[in-house]
Every structure is written in structure tokens, then in C-alpha cells.
Amino acid sequence: MAFVYDFSGYVTRNDLKCSDGRVIRAGAFADQDGVKVPLVWNHDHKDMSNVIGHVMLKNRDDGVYGYGSFNDTPNGRSARQLVIHGDIEA
């Protein structure tokens, strides 16, 4: 069964400071290779409407890559359109 994703890209790169000030070390997500995780808007888990889809994780030598799908919910559809239009890129 082939999956169709809305987007793909690096979830994190090894040993670089993220926008939240954290540094993710190589191998930090090794146990999640091939795991599906929720895609949460702005890391805000307080409201379930912020879950806008999911991401399949793939560990690579230089970081963690993700293949993402948006939900067919109002927030998921809105996020999909923002990505398509180029309004958000991360």
C-alpha cells in the first residue's frame, strides 16, 4: 500500500539549536524510526484541535526526516492551504 503525503522535510537536524533553544543530539529519536506521530500546530497540546495531521518519522545520518499528512478537519485543511500557498514553510 502506497501512502500519499502532503509534504516532507526535516523534523530536526542533529546537533543544531532549534527555534525553542533546544539542541537535539544524534540518535535522540532512534527508537522512533518508522513511527507515526501527531502533527501538532506550534507544539500546543492543550487543545486537540491543534492536532492537524500526522508525520511518519525516518531517522537519517544527519537528523530525522518526516513525511506529513494533514487531517480533513478545519484546522488541517487551513494548514494545508497555508503550506500550498507558501505562507508557512516550517
Predicted structure pTM score? 0.85
Residue type, 7: F
Q: What is the pLDDT of residues 13-61, one digit of tens each?
A: 999 888 778 898 998 888 999 999 999 998 888 999 999 999 999 999 9
* pLDDT given for residue 68 in this prediction: 96
* pLDDT given for residue 2 in this prediction: 61
E-strand ranges in the chain read 7-13, 36-40, 51-60, 63-70
Mean pLDDT in residue range 63-89: 94
Return the higher-pLDDT residue of 89 and 75: 75
